[in-house]
Structure 1
Amino acid sequence: MLQRLAAERATGALIRDRGTLYLADGQVVHAESPATPGIDVLLTTGGALHRDGWWDAVARAGAGQRVGRYLVDSGWIPGGALELCHLGALYDAAFFALAPARTPARFRYGVSHWIGPVRPVPVDAVHRETLRRRELLDRIWPKAVTDSAPLVRAAHPVDAPVPPRQRRVLDLVDGARTASDIAQELGRSAFHVLVDLRRLAAAGLVDALRETPGATASTSGRITIPEVTADPDVALLRRLRDALEAL
C-alpha cells in the first residue's frame, strides 16, 4: 500500500496499529508512534531546544502547520539540528508503524502534520531502513519479547561490565516499565533502547516479565500476579557464545 501511495504521489496520513506515516507528494514527511518519544521530547530532552522555544513555536505556527520552519526562522534551533532530530524521530516512529499488524491500514487523503515541511524522505529509503533495523535486532538477540513486555532484571545476572549507555537503560528496568516507557523516560530513540535491551538480554542481564502457563483468575475474580520465569535458552546461548569465542 505504501509503495502504491508513493507511485501515485499521494498526500495524506497512512494510519496503522502502531503509528502513522504522513506523506506529501508520495514522500514520507513525518511519522508518529505511541511507542516512541515525539520530536518535541527528543529535541528538548537532548538539549537541542529549550522547552519554551518548542511551545512558542507550537502556539505561533501550529495552526499554520509551520512549526519546524518557525523554529529555524526564529533562531530557536539551527536548521541542520532540526533536520537531524526530525529524521531520527521519523525513522524511529516508522519502524514501529510499519511493523506487522492485525488490522488493515487506512489512508486519509489530504491530511498533513502540524510540524510542517522539514525534509521529505523517499518511501524506499524508509522501507530499507526499517528492514535493516529489524535484521540488526534479530542479529543481536532473536527474541522480540523484550521489545514490548514489562522488563525485569535477571535473577542471577552474569558478572560483566555494562557500558554507560546500557547502564542507564538497565537502571530503569523495574518489572513495570517496557522498552517504550524507558525510551520516554530517557528521551531517547525507542529503537536505540531496543538495541540496548536486546544486548542486555543476550548478556543475561534482563528478561521479559511473563505469566506462568498455569496463571488463571482465582475464584474470587482476582487475577493471580504473574511470576517471572527465567528463559532456559539464555544460559545455553551464553555458553555456546563463550565456547565459540574461545576457539
Structure 2
Amino acid sequence: MTIRSHDSARPVPPAARNVPALLLALRRAGFTGSVTVSSAPGGTIHLEQGLVTAIETPGAPTAETLLLKSRRVGEADWAAAETAAATARAGDAPGPWGGGLGAALVAQGSIGATELETVCAAAVFDGAFALVLSPPGSWQVAEAAAPAGIALRPGIEPQRLFEETAQRVALLTRLWGPPGELARTRIRPAAQAESRALRIPDRYREILIAATGRRTARDIGFALGRGLFAVLLDLARMDARHLLHREPARPAAGVPGVAPRTPPSGPPPAGTGPLPRRTPGVRGPGGQSGPGGQGSLGGPARPGGPAAVSDEPPNGHRAERTETTENTEKSAP
C-alpha cells in the first residue's frame, strides 16, 4: 500500500493545493483508493475511478446508520445481509454495491434498489457537507484501502459534490448564519414548544424530543437516523418559529475561542434564549463561514456560481432547494 501526504517528500499532484483540487486531479487520473482528511472531525473519502463512492466521517451518519437508526432495515435483516455478502465476497462476485452488502439487502427484500441508491447518495453528500464545517487539516492518499461498507457505484463526480456542498452552505448561511456555529450549538425545546396544541410537523416533534440540551445537530442526526444537513435545515426553520433555546456553544477542537471574556464582577453570560439571528452575508468572528475555504469541499467561490442565492427573507419557509437537497430530506423519516 502506498500512502502519500501533501506535506510529505512524495506529494500528490502539484495542483493539489487543497482537497477539491486533489479530488479533481484524482478524477483525471482515474484513481481508485481513499483520501483521509485530518481535521475535526475529519473522515475518509472513498474513490473508484476518481468518482466519490462513499464518505465516512464521525461528523455525519453513514448509509448504515441512516438505514438502521431510521429502522428502514432491521438488525436481523442487516446481520443476514452481512453473512450473505461475506459469502459472495469469498467468491469475488461482482455487484453494484461495495462488498455485496447492498446487493444482499436488495436481494433479500429488505430495501428496494432505488431507495438504497437514494440513501447512499444522500450519505455521500451529507458527509461532504460535514467535512466543510471545520477548518481543514492535512490529508493522506491510499492507493489500496479497505472499501466502505456500502459504496455507491459508479459514484458521484467531485465537481457535482463541490457544487451541492456550496449550495447547502449558502442556504443555511442565508437562513441562520455560519452553519459551523449552528452545528456546534446544543439545543433544547423552548417553553412554547412543549405545548401539545402547537401544530408542527412530526419531524420537528422528533427533533424536540431528541433535543436534551446536551446534543448537537450531529448527535440528533445519529439518534434519529437523519442526515446532518436535514437536521440543521429543520433547526434553522424551527428557530424562525421560536421553538428552540440554545445552550452555550463549545469551540471546535483546535480552534481558539474568540468571544470576549466576561469580567468576574459583570453579569453572567446568557446561556439560554432563542438562537441568535445572523445577518445574511456577514461572517461570524474569527472564522470562514461559507464555501471556498482552503481545503473546503465547497470549492473556490465564483461570481454567479452555486453559492449565489436569491434575496428571499432569511426566515422564509419557501427557501429554494436543489434537487439533491430535496432527496436528502425525503430520505429522512
TM-score (norm 2): 0.60
In structure 2, list runs of 5 or more residues that go unmatched.
1-21, 90-98, 250-258, 281-312, 317-333
Aligned counterpart for 1:228 among listed residues 271, 288, 295: 271
The DSSP-based 3-state class of the residue aligned with 1:171 is: helix
For 1:209-220, list aligned pairs within 5 A.
209-210=247-248, 213-214=261-262
More helix per residue: 1
Identity score, percent: 26
Matches within 5 A, 1:1-247: 1-16=22-37, 17=39, 18-62=42-86, 64=89, 65-111=99-145, 112-116=147-151, 118-144=153-179, 145-154=181-190, 162-210=200-248, 213-214=261-262, 228-230=271-273, 234=277
Q: Name the CA shift for 1:58/1:201 in 2 (closer, same or farther; >3 Å).
A: same
**Are residues 177 and 226 of structure 1, via their aligned partners in 2, closer, same or farther at CA, if it must alter by over 3 Å?**
farther
> Quick one: distance in 1 between partners of 2:83 and 2:155?
24
Q: Relative to 1, partners in 2 of residues 1:174 and 1:31: Cα closer, same or farther, differing over 3 Å?
A: same
**Higher RCO, 1 or 2 (CA under 8 Å, sep at least 6)?**
2
Kept in 2, the 8 Å contact 1:94–1:126? The answer is yes
Contact 2:238 2:244 in 1 (8 A): yes
The number of aligned residues is 231
Cα distance in 2 between the residues matched to 1:203 and 1:71: 40
Query: For each residue in 1:29-59, what CA deviation from the matched residue of structure 2 results, as whole angstroms up to 9, or x when unmatched?
Result: 1112212222123223434322212122223
**How far 1:136 moved relative to its partner?**
1.1
Deviation at 1:149, TM superposition (A): 2.7
- RMSD after superposition: 3.4
| Structure 1 unmatched runs, 5+ | 217-224
Question: Following TM superposition, by how much is the alpha carbon of 1:61 offset from its aligned partner in structure 2, in angstroms?
Answer: 1.9
Distance 1:236 1:23, change over 3 A: closer
Partner of 2:309: none
Distance 1:79 1:205 in 2: 37
